[in-house]
Homo-oligomer: A and B are copies of this chain.
Amino acid sequence: MNRRFERVAVVGAGLVGAGWAIVFARAGQSVSIYDAQPAIRASVMDWIRDSLNEMERCGLTRDVPSILARITVSDSLEDAVAEADYVQESVFERVDVKHRISLAIGAAIRADAIVGSSSSGIPASEFTGDVQRRERFIIAHPVNPPHLIPLVELVPSPWTDPSIAPLLRDFMESVGQKPIVLSREINGFVLNRLQGALLNEAWALFDAGVASAADIDRTVSEGLGMRWSFMGPFETIDLNAPGGVADYAERLGPLYHSIAMDRRHPAQWHPDLIERVAAERRQALPLEDLASRCDWRDKMLMMLAAHRTMNQSDDSEDA
């Protein structure tokens, strides 16, 4: 890295922001956290401590006190970001909210700071057009929670300085995240476009009565998802034909094209369909058990992250 990052500011300290604070602090960065709500400022360190302790029990971190010592909570946005090399903004996902905070951040940062927004779908061009130092802003979209799922999508706006994406990519790698860089803004970015394509097919199959939601879920959780937890869709098919991806594409491309042709007239997820999917889900998991199932999911993610740490995927081909 030809530029040193040492101080990070986290703006917005909900679950996403607090997870980011863990990411940066465990990598050795000094982290200052700001949230507009005093109640969140008062409680975020407890949440971070609890999470780090649980991660330590799973073998995912050590020396929790040192990590905690690198994090401070700031009562003012300006104080939090003034000296930061990098600002990770994770406020509520609505254009007006993103716009307001970006105006404040742009006015308070150093000229050479970089600002990444955790926006999962709103592109930076929709809220940074009239922001000071708008060329320093970019999307840095994590998957929730960022301290357990390493992917980060970097999406430059049309006016983002072209040097920023490669710089931030290096920085994200250096703190243990797995960044990707999009060449330009696109609706849904890459992650939600891939998820959406699979979801749209899942909803259509359910709507057509081909299989239950539970069986469609099982197809992924007991089938496709196992491979996809350590290799992507291109590598998966590359390894699924003796001659690699070209061989695979030649043989199976027509099948996949015919599947796409079946979906040329995409339907909305209409209210009746949503009701039927929701009815099956609520039968499987009553709404009052949703929160505890989320805890289960986070525990599963933590154990999977620990498994991945112990059995490092040989990433060398990506070098």
The answer to the question of A209 belonging to the interface, with a C-beta cut-off of 8 Å to chain B, is yes
Is A216's CB under 8 angstroms from B234's CB? yes
Which residues from B are CB-within-8-Å of A210?
182-184, 186, 190
Complex Cα distance A281/B285, Å?
42
Q: Are A238 and B281 in contact (CB under 8 A)?
A: yes
CB neighbours (8 Å) of A214 from chain B are 234, 318
Determine if B191 and A278 form an interchain contact, defined as CB atoms under 8 angstroms apart.
Answer: no
Question: A259: CB under 8 A from chain B?
Answer: yes
Alpha-carbon distance between A249 and B203 when the two chains are bound, in angstroms = 10
A274 to B144, CA, bound (A): 33
Q: Is the CB of A221 within 8 A of B229?
A: yes
How many A residues touch B, CB cutoff 8 Å? 110
**Mostly helix, strand, loop or mixed at chain A's interface?**
helix
Task: Say yes or no: B217 contacts A190, CB within 8 Å.
Answer: no
Q: Kindly list chain B residues whose C-beta atoms are within 8 Å of the C-beta of A294.
A: 239
Binding site for B on A (CB under 8 A): 121, 143-144, 148-151, 153, 178, 180-184, 186-188, 190-202, 205, 208-211, 213-235, 237-240, 242-246, 249-250, 253-266, 268-269, 274-275, 277-278, 281-282, 284-285, 287, 290, 293-294, 296-297, 300-301, 303-305, 307, 311, 313-314, 317-318
28 A-B residue pairs with Cβ-Cβ distance under 8 Å, sorted by A, are A149-B222, A149-B223, A149-B227, A150-B223, A151-B219, A182-B210, A182-B211, A193-B205, A196-B260, A197-B198, A202-B233, A214-B234, A216-B234, A220-B233, A221-B232, A224-B228, A225-B225, A228-B229, A231-B297, A244-B282, A244-B287, A245-B277, A246-B274, A249-B269, A249-B274, A261-B266, A284-B317, A303-B311
